[in-house]
Every structure is written in structure tokens, then in C-alpha cells.
Chain A
């Protein structure tokens, strides 16, 4: 085989690999990229059940309830404008508490309940997920604020 042909074949193979990879990435991103929603976004835009998203807001005071099995929790997530019920089975992070910010990864079920597969809370005062920045809770007015 001539060197020219060989180079052509290699270039074609590289091109096919490149285009294939691009298409694969585009299709996978369309299905799997989890958009970040605040409860009000959920209410206004609507999220189809089963689609992976991240839900971010404050855990509403007095909403945290534990199921009888001891490992499932129910809580409400709010951004001050709207509230979404959520549930999680597992060991919650230590700084997950009422009146504190949370980012929950998961999806909605058919009944409009957010089923979290993972909860992100602050590690400590200094180490926290970036999405939690700008969330605050006013103890006296019970007002929640999510700046984005």
C-alpha cells in the first residue's frame, strides 16, 4: 500500500472517530445532563418525571419527617417562592438540617415527589458546594432567599 493511501485511511478513521464521539457526546448530554432547578423553576417550567435534575433550596423548618424504617426522610425544599416535597433513603450528610441549604440529586416520580438519590450539603463552614452559595434563611421572619 502506498504511504498516501495509508495516510488517507488514518485520516478517515480519525475523522469517523471524531464525528462519532461528537454525536455520542451530544446524545448522552441531551439525556443525562442534570439541570439545576429551584422549586419555583419546577413550578413555572415543569420537569418531566424520571429526568435527572438537581434541586436546590432550603429545607423548610418543621418539614423534616422520618419514616418508621429509620432511614427514609421526607422534607420540603423551598426557595421562598415555591415548595417541593422530597424524599431520600440513606444516611444524610451531617450538615443536612432544617433551615439550611441543600442540593438534592435525583428525579421526580409520577406523584410530583422529588426522589433524591444523593444529598449535597456543606462539608463544614469552609467547604461547600458552589450551588449553596447565596442561600440564606432568616430566623425571625422565616424568610428564605436563594440568589442565583
Chain B
């Protein structure tokens, strides 16, 4: 019954989306208020129904209902409950259902809480939202029904890929999806604004919280995903330029550009057409990302083998929405009036530079990700890996960081080049000092990119604190703190990346129990190998005493074996210290009772994720800071009414 309820709710929600689309556009066309009045209730009901469908799927997974095909192929009754729960979206159908649920709920939120928009633009936005949802409902219902039954029901399920049985991975896909879908709302706002010819500062102010929220969630999702790849895959890396990773990086780059341009539009009424364009691009990138991950068209370390017919379905949706939005953009953009002017030396120009650099990186990542597809069409199998991306993205990202340090030190609308130079003097001097001391300390041991990275990180760190200089700290608005924290977070991340690539020490050995291994100031005494058992796995575990100076700490790298599906995974042992992480992976047994061990000392690697969290926190501060006034006003108005 539960599965049927879920399916019925999904069909009803799809029907409501169709109704919402027709009502919104028929109402706008004929100016019929009675039709428009039904749009908001339809959106709210749609949100409720998708939530019911998703709750039904979660229930099926928690109960291990083996008469449902999706549960059989992706779960097992022996699995810990957390992974039964997370297994709901750890597969194609479930994650697509999560996508439409988040979209439905976000649509309901837009219908209920959006007050800043003028009514027609609001209705057009809801119509746009319904149009997007409709495609995804069709996708789910016609090609990937999550509630399909299997008859006869097997005795038990086939399990979930053990790599996915990890708390980090249980929650990072929903975070990313929330971000993706937040961008779909920004996209709908842009469509609504174009349709009703209301591309102005008010539109940007309505769109900004959605962009900010989406961006915060994307940042968190990417940071969590990167940390997961680092500790769970046992490869010691935190970014592999894998297509699946690029799929989340590309929308993030677009959202970062959009975030900055929407701020220009909201506060200065400039960059109108460009902001609308970026909103279209940002959501297109989340769709491209979904297409890449879900179609199985690209080779990836995550290597989902997915049915290619679904790929063509998503490709069709992609063409329809992106093509449609671009056509609308081309048709209507001529009527968007020019915004406020600004001088060449100004904050606006710096933000344009930021946007251009971000867009260039986005373009280069997109080319690198799609290139293998293009050449395969001509009969060559090609892979584009880290060397390409490092070479192209590295230098431009550093240029972007320089722009980021200078941007907040320029004034809006009009500034003097000399005055900007003066304000940049302190960060410049510090950068010079750092380069000199770094050259003395590590000349010849460090590549050019990590060297520049460290220097720029310190300069950006100082530069990003500059906006607080000589200000009354208590009266500084919260969104200024948001900017400062986020920019500081970029500097912290960059410093972590540079340290990791410059100073990591790696040692690969085969050792017997009783051996002592020395590396990077650490001494590891290999005590023994012991078998242990967990909920649904068994493992070989090495016990080692890690010592650096004082007392020793016991660490336990494992090699885990899962019976269903039969898989072996490595659980690296991580030892975190203030100045870095010790990372130990256990390999297989070789002749003479020796065990392969891979040991890394990674100085300051944790700064990478600390920076990521700071960036997200900065976004959250800006969101609260910008919205608080609106909330306060709303709350006071309600108080006054009571």
C-alpha cells in the first residue's frame, strides 16, 4: 500500500504541476485574476504531495520491503538503519525523487513566502518552476519509477555499494541537491522577470536569498564530498577532477559569479542582462551536472553504471530548458533597459572581472569534462585528467584570488586608481615579505604554483580583513562580516591546498609486525594485524603506535570486506594534529608476512575543509544579514495586527 500511495502522490503532484503551468500562463495572458488566484495553492499542494511520496519511499527502505524493486537492488535487511535511510537517495530513482521533492517544497516556499516580487512576476516565476518540475516528473514516472514492484519478492536485497555506507556520503547528496534546486528557483525568477519585463533591482533582491542559500549548500556539499573522497577512498587526494566532482563544481562556479552580479544588481542596479544570463547558466550547469552523473555517459571513479536511455531523456530535458531559456533570453533581452552607469575604476568593474574569471574557469572545466565525449564521437577514447585541469584552472584561480583581495578595497561607482593602490599597499608588502621568507625557507623544494598560492593566500587573508579596518566593529553590518569571513575562508582553503601540494611526504613500504617505520618526523611501530567484525562487514585491522616526540597514539587502518555486494574497501587511519594530518592506508599481504602500508604526512591539509566551512558560514551570515531587516519588518507588522 505504501508504494502505491507514494506513486499516486507523485502522479497527483505531476498533474498539479501541469495545472499550475496552465493557470499561470493563461491567467497572465488574459489578465484573469481568478485563474492566478489558484496558482499559489497548486504550488503548495504540489510541495505537500512530493513530500508524501518521498516519505513513502523512506518508509519502504526503513522497513526493507523487498517487494519493491528499488529496495531489493539497493538495500539489505542486515544494513544499519542509518544506511537504509540514506540508501533512499543513494541510487538513481531515489535521488531523482529527492530532486523533485526538493523542487516541490521549494516551489511551495516561493508561493507562500515570496513577498518582494510584484504579483505578475511572482506568478510567472511559479509558472516557470512548474514547467521545470513537469519535465522531471515525466522523467521519474516514465523512465525511472522508484515505486516499481517486483514479483515474486526475493528473500533479501542486494545491498548498497559499501563506499556509500558512510555518514559523510549519506548526507552530502541531499545537501548538493538542495543547492542545485535552489538554483532552479533563481532560474525561474529570471524566466519570470524576462516574461514580465521586470528585470530590475527589485527582482535581484527577491532572487538574492535563493542564490545565497543555494550557494551555501553547494559549498557545504562540495566541502563534505571532498573530505569524503579524502578519507574514504584511501587515495589521499581531496580533489580528483572527476566528472562527478566537476558536475558539482560547475554550478558552484556559476553560482559564485551569479552571487556577485546579483549583489551589483540589487544594490547598484547595474549588470541587468548579465545577471539574468548567469541565472540561466547556473541552473543549466546543475542540469548538465545531473546529466553527466546520471546518464553514465562519462567514465568516473564513482563509476555508476546507468542505463543510457535515461541519459537521452535528461539530454532532451536539458535541450528543452536551456534552449528555451536562451531563446527567451535572446527574444526579450533587447527590451531590458540599461542599468546605472559606473566608472572603469570601481567596485562594479572588479566584480565584472571576478565574473569574467569565474566564467572562464567554468568554460575550461566544461570543455575538459565534455572533450572525451566529443572525441569519442569521432572514434577516439580519451580521458582528460588532473594535469589538464591543474594547468588551466590553477593560474586563473590565482588571478581570481588577486581580484578578490583588491575588490572589497574599491569603492562603488567611482574610485581613484591611486587611492586603490594605496589601500593595497599593506597586503602587497605582506605578500613581498612572505615571498622572501618562503624563498629562504623552501627554495627549490616547492613548485611555482604552490609558492604563488601560499603568497597570495596570505595577501588575500590580510586584504579580506581590510574592510573591517577602522570601522566600528559592533555597528558593521552582518553581511559585511559575511563577505570578510567567506573571503578569508578562500584564503584559508588556498593555503591548505598549497601546503598539501608542496609539503606532503609520502612513504610506501611493506612491513612486518614489530617493524618501526620512520617518516616526516613520525615513528610508527607496527604492533599486529587482527581480524575484527562490524555490522555487515569483516575487516583486517593493523594496530600501530604513532609517535612524534612525546607519547604515542594507537591508530588502526583497516581493510574491510563486505559480503553483499562482495567488495573490499580501505578505511584509512587519520591522526589530526594542529599542523597537519597523518594518513595511513593498509594494503594487502605480500611474501614473508609483510603488509603493504602507505603513509602520508600532510601538513595543514585540514585548512582546505576549514576554509570551505568558513566560506559557507560567510554566505550564511550574508543571508541572515540581508534578510533580517525584512523578517523583522514582517514580524512587527504581524505583531501590530494582533
Contact = CB atoms under 8 A, between A and B. Distances in A.
A18 B565 CA distance: 47
Contacts of B567: 94, 123-124
Interface in A1-27: 1, 3, 6, 9-10, 13-14, 17-18, 20-21, 24-25
A77 to B, nearest CB: 15
A138 B382 CA distance: 28
Contacts of A70: 509-510, 590-592, 594, 596
A69 B338 CA distance: 69
Where chain B touches its partner, the secondary structure class is mixed
A124 B368 contact: no
A128 interface: yes
B471 interface: no
A143 B598 CA distance: 35
B359 interface: yes
A113 interface: no
A25 B368 contact: yes
A139 interface: no
A31 B388 CA distance: 8
A108 B310 CA distance: 38
B565 A20 contact: no
B343 A1 contact: yes
A129 interface: yes
B229 to A, nearest CB: 14
A10 B567 CA distance: 54
B341 A127 contact: no
Nearest to A13: B356
Contact of A91 (B356, B383, B596): B596
Interface stretch (B186-194, B297-305, B422-430, B609-617): B297-305
Interface in B356-396: 356-357, 359-360, 363-364, 367-368, 371-372, 375, 380-385, 387-388, 391-392
Contacts of B298: 130
B85 to A, nearest CB: 21
Which range holds the interface residue count of chain B? 35 or more
Nearest to A89: B508
Interface in A102-148: 105, 120, 123-131, 148
B217 interface: no
A17 B359 CA distance: 9
A81 interface: no
B572 to A, nearest CB: 11
Query: Which of the four size classes fits the interface of chain A?
Result: 35 or more
Interface string B508-532: 1110000000000000000000000
Interface in A65-109: 66, 69-71, 89-92, 94-95, 105
Q: Which of B371, B375, B381 has the most CB of A within 10 A?
A: B381
A32 B388 contact: yes
Contacts of A148: 381
A106 to B, nearest CB: 11
A52 interface: yes
B629 to A, nearest CB: 32
A47 interface: no
Contact of A29 (B371, B568, B590): B371
B568 to A, nearest CB: 4
B596 A127 contact: no
B565 A124 contact: yes
B388 A29 contact: yes
A32 to B, nearest CB: 4
Given A24-B392, A124-B566, A91 B161 contact: no
A16 to B, nearest CB: 9
B299 A90 contact: no
B639 interface: no
B364 A66 contact: no
Contacts of A123: 161, 163, 303, 567
A65 to B, nearest CB: 11
A3 B342 CA distance: 8
A148 to B, nearest CB: 7
Given A127-B303, A130-B303, A54 B371 contact: no
Nearest to A26: B367
Interface string B562-588: 000111101000000000000001011
A33 B598 contact: no
A34 interface: yes
B352 interface: yes
Interface string A40-78: 000000000000101000000000001001110000000
A20 B392 CA distance: 11
Nearest to B380: A35
B383 A33 contact: yes
B398 to A, nearest CB: 14
B565 A126 contact: yes
Contacts of A92: 587-588
14 contacts: A17-B359, A24-B364, A33-B388, A34-B382, A71-B596, A91-B234, A91-B570, A91-B587, A94-B567, A94-B568, A123-B163, A124-B161, A126-B565, A130-B299
Given A33-B383, A90-B598, A127-B305, 20 more contacts: A6-B344, A9-B344, A10-B352, A13-B356, A18-B363, A21-B363, A21-B364, A25-B368, A28-B391, A33-B371, A36-B383, A52-B387, A54-B383, A70-B509, A71-B590, A71-B596, A105-B385, A123-B567, A126-B565, A131-B381
Interface of B: 161, 163, 234, 296, 298-299, 301, 303-305, 338, 341-344, 352, 356-357, 359-360, 363-364, 367-368, 371-372, 375, 380-385, 387-388, 391-392, 508-510, 565-568, 570, 585, 587-588, 590-592, 594, 596, 598
